[in-house]
Amino acid sequence: MIKKANKVLVHLKQQLELVETEVESVLEKSEAGIKLSKEALKELRNIIILQDFNTIQDEIYFFKVVKPEIYSKLIYYVKLFSIESKRPRSSNKSQIKYLNSHIDKLQLYLNENLEFYHYFRRGSTFLDQQYFRRGKEDIRLHPDSFHFFSDEEFSTSHDSTVAKIMAYDMLIVYLKTEIEKLENTNTMETALTNNTRFKLFWTANKTDLIELIYALHSSGSINSGTADIKEMATACEQLFNIDLGDFYRTFLEIRSRKINQTKFIDKLRDALLQKMEELDE
């Protein structure tokens, strides 16, 4: 059952990646993200209703990891649509003030749930059975969602809190990035020009770099997973003095490989392990 749930999550990530790559308008991205996330949540619920968990650890993993990651996408895109659809189109100053006000609201929620925020971010587990198992009705734990009471088969006291933390972290990164663009749209380009241009050169082939960029993007390692693939590709082009061309088409070619789709990533792993072995000798 966990395998089925993970497949839903992986498929959603792939769909959202295409949306982020191909759709320019942030409002259109949000609408597509909302639709896809809702469909994934519905599919996830059907899996849970039809089949029970094999172990307690499976139940905890599902409600601590799988469901919140999908639900966080829905929260993120709903909030993003609301924020961007009401964003003033006047001066940069008024836009910055507007975006900062939303950062304050998001941060207020995180501060109000600071104890649980630290529990989750530190990877603590000692209260997992209370937080992430169904049927643990304890109002003193401050359940954060009415779904906990109205949909007991598909909710625990804190899975929605995890989802909100993930979504709000992503939103804060997005909003800060937008503020930075407004304050100085040339900041990144200037920094790259002054510090790295004509100094770093990508000497492997372009396909290898594109594979690496997509790996970083898929892992959510940049800007908590909210970085646009185009921005990442452009940054790497400037950093390594290279023209990646139609990187999306190249990625399709990587996906169509019959053998070893992650050839360069595997090569990096082998090279690092070899280096470690040499240093241990």
Domain chopping of the chain, boundaries: 2-183, 187-280
- Mean pLDDT confidence for 238-259: 85
Torsion angle of the four alpha carbons 123, 10, 36, 81, in this order, in degrees rounded to the nearest 10: 40
Position 60 scores a pLDDT of 92
pLDDT at 186: 42
Q: Give residue 251's pLDDT.
A: 86
Q: Give the mean model confidence (pLDDT) for residues 208-237.
A: 87
Q: pLDDT band at residue 221, thresholds of 50, 70 and 90?
A: confident
Residue 2 and residue 62 in contact, taking contact as beta carbons nearer than 8 Å:
yes
Measured in degrees and rounded to the nearest 5, phi and psi for residue 142 equal: 55, 60
Residue 156 pLDDT > 60: yes
- Average pLDDT of every residue of the chain: 85
- Give the per-residue pLDDT at 272: 92
pTM: 0.67
Which residue is it, tokens 């470690």?
276
- Tokens encoding 223: 């800007």
Confidence of residue 51 (pLDDT cuts 50, 70, 90): confident
Q: DSSP assignment of 83-132, as one string?
A: HHHT---S-HHHHHHHHHHHHHHHHHHHHHTHHHHHHHHTT--TTHHHHS
Q: So what's the pLDDT on residue 195?
A: 53
